[in-house]
């Protein structure tokens, strides 16, 4: 903070009110016995000087900063930003401030660096939303043993405190849905492999298919972005491998997949079923409305915070909470109807494409 006309301190207030610092402290923190008269005088002085407590000093004296840290990877993505929203809210309601520290990249080193920065700030605990193997999570937890931590993106069997979404189960739900519709040739577009959650999902998809002696007919990796979903779908189509359904790692990539299929004149769900993951705000309004797996990140954020808070209040045994996502059936999935494509649909595509081109050529590029 910059020096204006000097911020008032407890001592200033005490002086003006003619009482001791401690009394002012008691009034400000509404704890301990203070006579109504004194309280009024103090409050008055607080108002006059526009006193604002100094939480740094308070934290130093109390040995508790009333702040928590959130170490997360790219906060501009859907999941982290939704999580942040839930965490901040829960924290604020409990009187905690939130310090955000982005984990730049993957791996133990990056996470360690981010958490260290938070520890320097004396956060009372940390929430860690970065992909970490079971082993690495344990290592982080050990290395920062004096700072309670709750992980949000680690394998469910990690020996650390964690609040997780049951990715395996969610993925299984998606795969089972396709199976029940009668699909047997299923491809997938998954997220980055170094994302732990994605690994669980791949597993979930695979296991369900395996139960029916099936397997994914093709896989492509994206980076969560719509553009990467598009590229992945294009690659899938280019491979020539026939498939009637695609499991997609998140709804954003699904947008790209939908587009790629559309460009090829493939009808969704007539020719290809597409199922996403997340249920973002736009998913219900895409064309077609996207069948997907719902994940409630803000709520997960709140749960994670309260888990952390419990850890702060009284040490509990390490535990992992798993929240099961749900299947949301919309219009992007249906029974497979191989080889029954309607002729006039292709005609439509051509006409529509033509219209768009006309729209585009009138104005130059970007």
Partner DNA sequence: CATTCCTATGTTAGCCTTAACAATATGGGG
Partner DNA sequence: CCCCATATTGTTAAGGCTAACATAGGAATG
Give me the residues that bind DNA (CB under 7 A), please: 7, 9-11, 18-23, 25-26, 28-29, 32-35, 37-39, 51, 53-54, 57-58, 60-63
Q: Provide, rounded to whole angstroms, the least separation between the CB of residue 118 and DNA.
A: 15
365 binds, among its own copies, DNA, none (CB under 5 to 8 A by kind): its own copies
Give the residue with the Cβ less far from its own copies, 155 or 269.
269
21 binds, among DNA, its own copies, none (CB under 5 to 8 A by kind): DNA
Q: Provide, rounded to whole angstroms, the least separation between the CB of residue 363 and its own copies.
A: 4
346 binds, among DNA, its own copies, none (CB under 5 to 8 A by kind): none
Give the residue with the Cβ less far from DNA, 66 or 219.
66
Q: Provide, rounded to whole angstroms, the least separation between the CB of residue 37 and its own copies.
A: 27
Give the residue with the Cβ less far from DNA, 23 or 161.
23
Give the residue with the Cβ less far from DNA, 148 or 191.
148
Minimal CA–CA distance to 162: which of 187, 140, 194? Answer: 140
20 binds, among its own copies, DNA, none (CB under 5 to 8 A by kind): DNA
34 binds, among DNA, its own copies, none (CB under 5 to 8 A by kind): DNA
Give the residue with the Cβ less far from DNA, 24 or 231.
24
Give the residue with the Cβ less far from DNA, 31 or 213.
31
Q: Provide, rounded to whole angstroms, the least separation between the CB of residue 353 and its own copies.
A: 9
């Amino acid at each position: 903070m910059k020096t204006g006309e000097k911020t008032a301190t407890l001592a200033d207030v005490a002086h003006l009110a003619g009482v001791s610092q401690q009394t002012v402290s008691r009034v400000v923190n509404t704890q301990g016995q203070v006579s109504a008269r004194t309280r009024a005088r103090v409050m008055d002085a607080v108002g006059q000087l526009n006193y604002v407590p100094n939480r740094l000093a308070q934290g130093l004296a109390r040995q508790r900063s009333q702040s928590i840290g959130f170490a997360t990877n790219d906060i501009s993505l859907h999941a982290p930003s939704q999580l942040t929203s839930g965490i901040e809210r829960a924290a604020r309601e409990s009187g905690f401030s939130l310090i955000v520290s982005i984990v730049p990249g993957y791996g133990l080193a990056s996470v360690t660096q981010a958490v260290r920065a938070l520890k320097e700030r004396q956060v009372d605990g940390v929430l860690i939303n970065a992909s970490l193997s079971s082993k690495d999570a344990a290592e982080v937890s050990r290395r920062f043993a004096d700072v309670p931590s709750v992980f949000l993106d680690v394998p469910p069997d990690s020996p650390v405190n964690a609040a997780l979404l049951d990715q395996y189960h969610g993925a299984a739900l998606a795969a089972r849905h396709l199976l029940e519709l009668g699909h047997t040739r299923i491809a997938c577009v998954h997220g980055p492999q170094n994302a732990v959650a994605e690994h669980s999902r791949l597993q979930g998809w695979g296991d369900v298919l395996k139960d029916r002696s099936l397997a994914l007919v093709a896989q492509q990796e994206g980076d969560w972005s719509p553009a990467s979903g598009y590229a992945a779908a294009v690659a899938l189509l280019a491979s020539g491998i026939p498939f009637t359904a695609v499991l997609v790692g998140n709804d954003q990539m699904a947008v790209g997949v939908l587009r790629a299929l559309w460009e090829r004149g493939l009808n969704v769900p007539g020719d290809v079923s597409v199922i996403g993951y997340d249920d973002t705000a736009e998913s219900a309004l895409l064309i077609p409305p996207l069948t997907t797996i719902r994940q409630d990140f803000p709520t997960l954020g709140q749960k994670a915070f309260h888990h952390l808070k419990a850890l702060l209040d009284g040490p509990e045994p390490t535990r992992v909470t798993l929240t099961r996502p749900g299947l949301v059936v919309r219009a992007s999935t249906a029974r497979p109807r191989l080889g029954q494509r309607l002729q006039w649909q292709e005609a439509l595509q051509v006409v529509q494409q033509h219209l768009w081109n006309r729209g585009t050529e009138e104005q130059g590029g970007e």
